[in-house]
Amino acid sequence: MNRRIPISKKPLSVEHARELLRMVRLVSFKTGEFVTILPSLGGRVHEIVLKAGKRRFSILESPQSAADIIKNDHFAGAKLIPFAGRIPEAKYEFGGKAHRLTVDPRGNFAIHGFVTDKLFRIAKSTAGADHASVVLEYTHHGKTKGYPFKFFVRLTFSLKNSVFSCTTEIRNIDSKPLPVGDGWHPYFRTSGPIGKMFLSLPSHSVVEVTPLFKVPTGRTIKSAPGRVIIPLNRKEMDSVFDFGEKQRRVTTRLIDPTVGVEIQIWQESGRKKYRYLVVYRSPAGSSIAIEPWTSAPDAFNNSMGLLILKPGAKFKSSYGVKLRQLRSSRSRGSRIEHKR
């Protein structure tokens, strides 16, 4: 579900590069935990450092050099607005009109919206000894090719009680209805080898996708009524999971028995919430993308989870991350414990 359109082929000035790399850091001085955000690059989450027991872990894999951070080929930590995933041929119809988005130069599709390199302004920030938050805002004026709709986005990032959270609000400021969706594209890791980890999923259905564009075929492969644990010893994964229309808070766990921790990714799920989860791991990857999405890929055409906002209406929902130390009888060969 990845790959990125370069921001620009033109060389950046030093001043412009510095502006793009401007960072906001949420810090808990009590625990030493922190989250780093890039307001000038679409409100991207660049770092998450959380504590489990007495240890702190950097749990996101992100580009490190200035050039790679700006380019961000694999959308690491990016917000995917107003759509997530690929749209084949970059075409869709809405409101009785045909629209054509910008085509990715490496394939006949559009991908992952267009706010990933947009400037979000800092509207508000708060801080205390053990908590911090920042509110970022962006307004789209309807001048993007293939998306002539106006909307307003507010992102509220928070670090409190060792939990990172993001609440997203998207409001229709146009005089006509608009189609919209949202997703987050983080790559998670610990200090342990990814091939020895396990993915623990809450009850779900698996959405069948096409081999080329990874968009839904219209079929559900299978349903899992309870929690499922998937070993990550296979080298590749690119799956779409549907948590259903019932509104609930669901938690996906990335379990590392080697290090003795699990990353918990929670999302408000259900109708008009983050109903879907995309999991992606490249064959050579040292991390795994675990992505809460409001809609399935190509939702502008298949309407799977598509949000249609009337003038003045808004979408609002949250997801977040916490780190937990595993309880084990031995440091080596420890058993995995999880809650249903």
Per-residue pLDDT of the chain (340 residues; tens, 9 = 90+): 443 333 344 566 777 888 889 999 999 999 999 999 999 999 999 999 999 999 999 999 999 999 999 999 899 999 999 999 999 999 999 999 999 999 998 899 999 999 999 999 999 999 998 899 999 999 999 999 999 999 999 999 999 999 999 999 999 999 999 999 999 999 999 999 999 999 999 999 999 999 999 999 999 988 999 999 999 997 789 999 999 999 999 999 999 999 999 999 999 999 999 999 999 998 778 999 999 999 999 999 999 999 999 999 999 999 999 999 998 634 333 333 333 3
Q: How many CB atoms lie within 10 A of CB 126?
A: 11
Q: Are 184 and 291 in contact (CB under 8 A)?
A: yes
Domain coordinates in residue numbering, the chain: 14-325
Q: Would you call 137 exposed, middle or buried from its count of C-beta atoms within 10 A (0-12, 13-18, 19+)?
A: middle
Print burial letters for 225-264: b (CB count within 10 Å at least 16), e (below 16).
Answer: eebeeeebeeeebebbbbbbeeeeebbbbbbbbbbbbbbb
Q: How far is CA 280 from CA 128, 156, 288, 290, in A?
A: 36, 26, 6, 7
Rounded to 5°, the CA angle 271-156-77 comes to 80
Q: Which of 286, 328, 110 is nearest to 188 (CA)?
A: 286
Q: Which amino acid is at 119?
A: L
Residues in Cβ contact with 242 at an 8 Å cutoff, skipping those fewer than 6 apart = 204, 205, 206, 207, 220, 275, 276, 296
Task: Indicate the fold that domain 14-325 takes in CATH.
Answer: Beta-galactosidase; Chain A, domain 5 (2.70.98)
DSSP state of 326: P
Handedness of CA 69, 70, 74, 79 (dihedral sign): positive
Please state, in angstroms and rounded to a whole number, the distance separating the CA atoms of residues 330 and 249: 32
Q: Are 60 and 37 in contact (CB under 8 A)?
A: no
Please state, in angstroms and rounded to a whole number, the distance separating the CA atoms of residues 84 and 239: 14
Please state, in angstroms and rounded to a whole number, the distance separating the CA atoms of residues 313 and 39: 25
Please state, in angstroms and rounded to a whole number, the distance separating the CA atoms of residues 57 and 247: 31
Look up the pTM and report it.
0.92
Strands 248-256 and 261-269: antiparallel
DSSP state of 10: S
Distance of CA 97 to the CA centre of its chain: 29
Q: Would you call 9 exposed, middle or buried from its count of C-beta atoms within 10 A (0-12, 13-18, 19+)?
A: exposed
Please state, in angstroms and rounded to a whole number, the distance separating the CA atoms of residues 219 and 229: 23
pLDDT value, residue 146: 98
φ, ψ for residue 272 (rounded to 5)? 65, 25
